Amino acid sequence: MTFTELLGLIVINGVAWLFFHISLSLLCFFMPLRFFTRDVLRIYKWEQHGELWQQLFHVKQWKKHLIDGSSIVKKSYNKRHLHGTTAHDLVVFAAETKRAELTHWLLLLPTPLFFIWNPAWAAWVNVAYALLVNVPFIMTQRYNRGRLERISHRDEKKHLLIKKML
């Protein structure tokens, strides 16, 4: 493969990824928040309220280095910190983590397309890119949402206990 051919592949793949990143991110950005308040992308029991991600991958130590979508699209929800501790705030934050997670799952879907125009080695480089760029974000969203759900459940139990006492 010549340098010109390699450069052409880099440009084509870069433009393809840019197209997929922008279009799929916009698709999720414009989906109504109520879609994400449903039981989609739920946290499973085996994830231990997100603690599994911390135990296996030490998410807490590196998640602060990931780029938040709100730094790119200013009108998007900033997930770097909680915007409050009311039940509504927690539901909105959890829904926004689902939006981010879905975006990154969808960004993995086009990966097989890169086998169409790339030699096998270059297609596998794109698979590695897709995994390295998206999986850390997916793990982070699942970790954060698991912790949010644990807080919400704890608050629900506290409110039920107070109701019983009254």
* Residues 54, 52: Cα–Cα separation, whole Å: 5
Output the 3-class SS for the chain: CCHHHHHHHHHHHHHHHHHHHHHHHHHHHCCCHHHHCCCCCCCCHHHHHHHHHHHHHCHHHHHHHCCCHHHCCCCCCCCCCCCCCCHHHHHHHHHHHHHHHHHHHHCCCCHHHHHHHCCHHHHHHHHHHHHHHHHHHHHHHHHHHHHHHHHHHHHHHHHHHHHHHC
Mean pLDDT over each residue of the chain, to the nearest integer: 86
Within 8 A by CB and 6+ apart from 12, the residues are 117
Number of domains into which the chain is organized: 1
What pLDDT, on the 0 to 100 scale, is given for residue 166? 45
| pLDDT tens-digit map of 9-44 | 999 999 999 999 999 999 999 999 999 988 889 899
Which range marks the domain in which residue 100 is found? 3-165
* Residues 71, 30: Cα–Cα separation, whole Å: 17
What pLDDT, on the 0 to 100 scale, is given for residue 65? 86
What pLDDT, on the 0 to 100 scale, is given for residue 47? 92
pTM as predicted = 0.83
The pair of three-digit structure tokens given for residue 15, joined into one six-digit string: 């433009």
| pLDDT tens-digit map of 51-96 | 999 999 999 999 888 887 665 555 666 655 666 667 778 888 889 9
% of the chain at pLDDT higher than 70: 81
Who has greater pLDDT, 121 or 39?
121
